[in-house]
Amino acid sequence: MSDANVSRRRVLRGVAAGAAASGMAGEAIANTSDEVNGHVVKFEPGASTDVARRKANAVTHEFDFGEIGKAVAGEFPAEAIEGLRKNPNVQYVEEDRVKYHAYAQTVPWGIDRVDADVVHANGETGQGADIAILDTGIDSDHPDLQANIQGGRAFGDIYCGSAGGGCRFGGSPNDNTCHYEWDDDNDHGTHCAGIADAVDNSEGVVGVSNEANLWAGKVLDGCGSGSLSAIAAGIEWAADQGFDVASMSLGASSGDQTLKDAVQYAQNKGVLLVAAAGNDGPCSDCVGYPAAYSEVVAVSSTDSDDTLSDFSSTGPEVELAAPGGEIYSTIPGGYDTFSGTSMACPHVSGAGAQLMADGYTNSEARRQLKDTAEDLGLASNEQGSGLLDVEAATGGGGDNTAPSCSVVNPADGDTVSGTVTVQVDAADSEDSDDSLDVEVAIDGGTYQTASYNSTSGYYEYDWDTTGVSDGDHTVDARAIDSGGATDTSQVTVTTDNGGSGDSAPTIDTFSVSNRSNGGWARFEVDWAVSDADGDLSQVDLTLEQNGSTADSASYAVSGSSASGSDRLQDKKGSGSYDVTLTVTDSAGNTTSQTKTVTA
């Protein structure tokens, strides 16, 4: 979804099985059919999960996604699933499939290419930041990792040794000793951990960070596969522990609502989420999940000659490229060279840890990594903003004093009307007064550039307050210096323009495509909505025939714009249907459109 936080509330009459996940590039694990491992039952925010726990034969995990709501994963009798689907307090029920798979003191070429070794000398080591490697585990006694490993956890029925032996990622016949449940019995997780944060100890390799805290979230078994509930539980754990970065070198070809809820929860809790784009290349619009979610930084792979790796997935979701071809790193008991977007992902995770250690928020770190990336001349769906540049992102390391930033007009608590000139006092010891990047955002929306006024000595932005409803609103400002250091300021003001000042939302896109086949009437609906007041609230889709509702979907949305797609369907349906799109804002204004289609 673009420019909005979207949570989906839907109960379908039928749920289609997810597609099989893609394998890894290079030393790949073969594709396997998705194994159903139970179900996940998600409840409306505030609703009790007691009914699901009572009906379950076994509960494998209980999720608490805060304001998003709670869910229960487990094994349920078929009749219990049917009853839960009809429960008005249940948002959705989906199969818990084993569909997510690992993608598949020398300074490795990737560390040198993104200039991570340069910033180490200037003190940028990631010390104080916490990186969760959500993967096959981490070798707990590897000499290049042990000093940074703080602990870990295994999820669901996955633990070191649970898959048996003989399927290590690198093909070695020797299985790792399982000192802990979260130990690595595959190679993949340890390899990724070394790229992100191997110790600088004069032996083996060194990571992008080298003093961050490593945490092993074992969500994939010894053969590199994991269930939906295990992946989501690992993400929830990283958020609840307050970790700074979650590194996910794993994916599937289709998403799940439970996974979407988990990444949204983690982002809201301040976690920088980074994931491999996938190894389905050459292809287009083929980024896997969770990388394809808007809350996650999707990373493609490059080779040592700065070309796109031939195995790398691409698509509009790609935000950064990083080295992923022939990467030398740690494995249990030694070192090996692997290729994949799995190897590209932890380069970005290690860099993100350095920024988080410097005081960046997850959103600020994400923006800084993108703003300082090196343009390789590749298409945007191949490189996103460009190749990761750690030296540029951290300002070269060393002592870069953050700028100062303060909103001086309007003052906190002021009542304003009409057009207000927001004035920001910003300065920096290393940059001239007019060379800072200063931006202003209203009510947490998109930041807009504030221009330096040499007469007033302030950075200024003109805000038309008639575009928002009367009442309290926040004004945020941030100043960013040439080294990437940031300072922020916020005031709350009351707008009073003599009326509600609130306009009805707008439907920008509404298209319906007939996808009917067999005994089903199916319609693909694409939509985009916006609101000039920035107070979108809800989008509703309905499929009706002869005045009766055959299917529906509802989305909670926010901000000034949102978009999405959905499939409405009617079993054994035919003939003429009405598809209606309704968008509502927080003031209660609604706009609707209806299209008549034939199955």
Catalytically annotated residues: 135, 188, 342
Backbone torsions φ then ψ of 110, nearest 5 degrees:
-65, -40
3-state secondary structure 491-526: EEEEECCCCCCCCCCEEEEEEEEECCECCEEEEEEE
Strand order in the sheet with 130-135: 149-154, 213-218, 130-135, 245-248, 272-276, 297-302, 318-323
380, HSE (Cβ side, Cα atoms, 13 Å): 4
Tokens 């979701």 belong to 317
Q: How far apart are CA 212 and CA 350, in angstroms?
A: 8
The answer to whether the Cα torsion of 52, 54, 56, 60 is positive or negative is positive
Residue 321 CB partners (closer than 8 Å, separation 6+): 299, 300, 301, 302, 308, 344, 373, 376, 378, 382, 383, 384, 386, 387, 388
Alpha-carbon span 361 to 486, nearest angstrom: 10
For residue 283, the SS3 value is coil
Rounded to 10°, the helix 228-240/257-268 angle is 10
Q: Which two tokens stand for residue 376?
A: 């390789």
Residue burial 328-351, b: 16+ Cβ < 10 Å; e: rest: bbbbbbebbbbbbbbbbbbbbbbb
Q: Given strand 415-416, what is the order of strands in its sheet?
A: 415-416, 486-495, 471-480, 437-442, 448-449
In this structure, the strands spanning 70-75 and 7-9 are: unpaired
Q: Is-contact 415 494, C-beta < 8 A?
A: yes
Side chain identity at residue 549, one-letter code: T
